[in-house]
Amino acid sequence: MDIQVRPDRTNGPLKKLHGVNNGPVSFGSLVDLTEHFRNAAFPLVRLHDVNWPHAWEVDIHTIFPNFDRDPEDPASYDFERTDAYLASVLSTGAKIVYRLGESIEHTKTKYYVHPPKDYEKWAKICVGIIRHYNEGWANGFHYGIEYWEIWNEPDNPDNQVMWTGTAEQYYELYRVASLAIKRHDSTLKVGGHAATMVNHPFTQGFIEYCRTHVLPLDFFTWHTYAGDPEAIAANSRLVNRWLEEAGYSDMECHLNEWGFFKSAGEQLWKPEGAMQRQTTFERIKNEEGASFAAALFALLQDCPVHEANYYDAQPHNLFCGLFDRYGVPTKVYDVFRKFNELCGYSHRIEAETGDGAQGVYALAVTNDSGGSALWISNFGGESREYRISWPELGSRQGEWLIMDRERRFDRLEDSGIAREGGTISVFLPKHSVLFAKFD
């Protein structure tokens, strides 16, 4: 049997892992995806590398442009653009993870990704931002933002694009800022360090530093881009093991940057690599990237991941798979929207794939009203007929939808579904997603 569903074995609630990075407006508000955000009900939006109208709207240097000013004086801050951006995100119904720090700099000259010249002052600026958005300070708001992340990818090995300092300098910045935030409001959740692909020495050093100095670490954040969903699952287990060994056994783990990415090699970012870039990033947006996302939503249900944020929900050509550069939803977006429908079912039940169905991932869910749903991603399996054992559904009618190269969750006709007792057989092309609902 390729997929065995056992409704008598429950696996707990379904985790809503379809969060994203960045909000619905971009290109100076010329492109507004608010309705698409609402339709997919992205639960959690992380703010980093935003593009409205440039990549700096939530960065420290944008809000506090003159570091020599007094962080206790509201006049030292410029919240206007950031206020507008956060309002656009919150209007979709999502909650926010606010990254305190700077956006990535791929330029030869680095302008803002340096260690602050005064850590204590930098931490006071962070507290000022929190006061503005949570406590109404400086004509602010009462948004109740819970998650505050300190910096992004200070361990990024790519030519210091995120941090020009040492590991020890970042550890010290985290110490000063996390303690300052907790002194101000102990109910807030402080975390980091947005680890790049789980960079082993840096990440292990950070966890040990937090343990040794008894620092606040309410949630740990990490990133992985991969061509195989199993690589992301493996990193989740690795991070969890390191945290447990350091005594953080109940730590919230956030995979707050992830994506499907198969690099075309060293030529990708060279002038002669234009065609390779096109091929690489178009695959992210098509049925291959869509089935990858669907597979990961299923796979991570049993991994130590509490929240997840896809990179990125902004409409442009590089890395971002939910929309094209014009704001047209892709097949990846369709997967996020359909997964949100799946989240309407409250109980997860066991769905096991057999040895002959490698590369196929399945989820089965039920609700208190007797409804059931089945979610299958054939990301890496063969294009063939797959046999599904779910005895109680053998005679029940339902809505069968499929996404593949030719279709975008179109209705699967009854002629494509074979039933024999409690076994259902369906042809699933490689890089397809099946979503079936039974009332």
Q: Can you list the positions of beta strands (E) in 296-346?
A: 307-310
Q: Is the CB of residue 321 less than 8 Å from the CB of residue 257?
A: no
Q: Is the pLDDT of residue 10 over 90?
A: no
Query: Which tokens in the block code for residue 294?
Result: 């669907």
Q: Is the CB of residue 128 less than 8 Å from the CB of residue 120?
A: no
Which pLDDT tens digit goes with each residue over 46-93? Answer: 999 887 556 789 999 999 999 999 999 999 999 999 999 999 999 999
More confident call, 325 vs 266: 325
pLDDT-derived band of residue 27, with 50, 70 and 90 as boundaries? Answer: confident
Rounded to an integer, the average pLDDT of 387-404 is 85
Tell me, which fold does domain 17-342 have in CATH? TIM Barrel (3.20.20)
**Residues in the chain, total:** 439
Which pLDDT tens digit goes with each residue over 290-317? Answer: 999 999 999 999 999 999 999 999 888 7
| Predicted pLDDT of residue 391 | 82
Q: Parse the chain into domains and list their residue ranges.
A: 17-342, 347-438
Q: What are phi and psi of 223, to 5 degrees?
A: -130, 150
Rounded to an integer, the average pLDDT of 338-367 is 95
Centre a 10 Å sphere on the Cβ of residue 249 and count the other Cβ atoms it contains.
9
pLDDT-derived band of residue 278, with 50, 70 and 90 as boundaries? Answer: confident
Q: Is the pLDDT of residue 130 over 90?
A: yes
Centre a 10 Å sphere on the Cβ of residue 383 and count the other Cβ atoms it contains.
12
Rounded to an integer, the average pLDDT of 197-223 is 95
Centre a 10 Å sphere on the Cβ of residue 120 and count the other Cβ atoms it contains.
11
Q: Is the CB of residue 319 less than 8 Å from the CB of residue 283?
A: no
| Predicted pLDDT of residue 421 | 79
| Predicted pLDDT of residue 52 | 57
- CATH of the domain spanning 347-438: 2.60.40.1180
Which pLDDT tens digit goes with each residue over 106-128? Answer: 899 999 999 999 999 999 999 99
Name the most confidently modeled range: 130-139, 263-272, 411-420.
130-139
Q: Is the pLDDT of residue 410 over 80?
A: yes
Q: In 3-state terms, what secondary structure has residue 167? A: helix
Q: Is the CB of residue 254 less than 8 Å from the CB of residue 221?
A: yes
pLDDT-derived band of residue 241, with 50, 70 and 90 as boundaries? Answer: very high
CA quadruple 135, 137, 141, 147: dihedral positive or negative? negative
